[in-house]
Amino acid sequence: MSQNLQFDETGRLRHFLTIEGLSRELLIRIMDTAESFASVTEQQVKKVPLLRGKTVVNLFFENSTRTRTTFELAAKRLSADVLNLNIATSATSKGESLLDTIRNLEAMHVDMFVVRHAESGAAHFIARHVAPHISVVNAGDGRHAHPTQAMLDMFTIRKIKGDIAPLKVAIVGDILHSRVARSEIHALNILGAAEVRVVGPRTLMPVGIEKLGVTVFNDLDAGLDDVDVVIMLRLQKERMSGAFLPSVNEYFASYGLTEARLAKAKPDAIVMHPGPINRGIEIDSRVADGPQSVILQQVSNGIAVRMAVMSMVLRGQDDLARAEAA
């Protein structure tokens, strides 16, 4: 997968597929742009005309109500037209290939695909084959990447803590299968966080994860010691028994975030979770709903960050088209 695929020949952001390989300046520009959109949701008319006349297709091959909804809201608040493709009843389930589906949608003169897929690399595959005027935003692919989730988390941390550079951040849970963890590790390192820790059982820790610039902890109490930010990961149902974990109860006993465990972190540490949360498995309700939790702020910030990404890639396409026409 080439990271250059994300940029056009003039260096403009054309697709948003992964955090890996992006510059610190670009990540900051995304957060600054999101900041300018944050107030739109508080206005009486929650719209700006930036993408009027554009058509965004939510192409979700994997279920995710919240992520799809926030992408849809973000596009509508930018005044784009939005098409939600129901994959379960689409032609792809009737034997039409993925590229056939893409070609048919292209013929409808759409401008952006927001893609979620269970296979790693699916968004890159589509980005390599779409027409030049179409942008692709990765809404999560396999174990690989979930770049807008990482950016909304960076935006949330920056809004609350002010500066990411001096912070110690612990990412806790199923690191092995988590596209969120991978994208957040890249984002935190690019933004210069003081320390990035990954915490979880050995069975859910990728071999060689240290090469991504993280410190590995298998003990939660040690991993939370003196950290500023705790990011809990969702535990998928299929990992809750069998080879990965002895039992849900044992997982919560060893890696569930309780008030007592959170006390190991700094007193003003914040608690995050990409959602939806499994109460009593990854996190105790008293922590999820407690004063240090910023989980609902993450949801709100997700709309502003997705507005920022969508506007940047589509306006970049427009700038290029104007330059070529001049």
Helix axes of 24-38 and 147-161: crossing angle, nearest 10 degrees: 70
pLDDT at residue 146 in the model: 97
Average of per-residue pLDDT across 284-310 = 97
Q: What is the pTM of this model?
A: 0.93
Mean pLDDT of 205-228: 97
Q: Is residue 2 predicted with pLDDT exceeding 50?
A: no
- Is the distance from CB of 111 to CB of 54 less than 8 angstroms? yes
With helix as H, strand as E and coil as C, how does 245-293 read? CCCHHHHHHHHCECHHHHCCCCCCCEEECCCCCCECCCECHHHHCCCCE
Report whether pLDDT(317) > 90. no
Whether 11 shows a pLDDT value over 90: the answer reads: no
Residue-level pLDDT at 301: 95
pLDDT above 90 as % of the chain: 75
CB atoms inside a 10 Å sphere around CB 163: 11
Model pLDDT, residue 65: 84
Query: What sign results for the dihedral spanned by CA atoms 118, 275, 33, 147?
Result: negative
- pLDDT at position 240: 63
Over the stretch 110-145, which tens digit does the pLDDT of each residue have? 999 999 998 899 999 999 999 999 999 999 999 999
Cα(312)–Cα(316) distance, rounded to whole angstroms? 6
Tell me what pLDDT residue 315 has. 80
Q: Where are the alpha helices (DSSP H) in 20-167?
A: 24-38, 65-77, 98-106, 122-129, 147-161
Given a cut of 60, is residue 3 above it in pLDDT? no
pLDDT surpasses 50 at 1: no
**Most trustworthy range by pLDDT among 89-98, 243-252, 302-311:** 302-311
Is 80 exceeded by the pLDDT of residue 311? yes
Q: Which residue has the tokens 């104007």?
A: 322
**Mean pLDDT (whole number) for 170-181:** 96
Kindly tell me if the per-residue pLDDT of 163 is higher than 60: yes
pLDDT value at 316 more than 70: no
Chain-centroid distance of CA 109 in Å reads: 27
Q: Residue 33 — very low, low, confident or very high, per pLDDT cuts 50/70/90?
A: very high
Confidence of residue 7 (pLDDT cuts 50, 70, 90): very high
Q: Rounded mean pLDDT of the chain?
A: 91
Reported as a pLDDT band with limits 50, 70 and 90, residue 89 is low
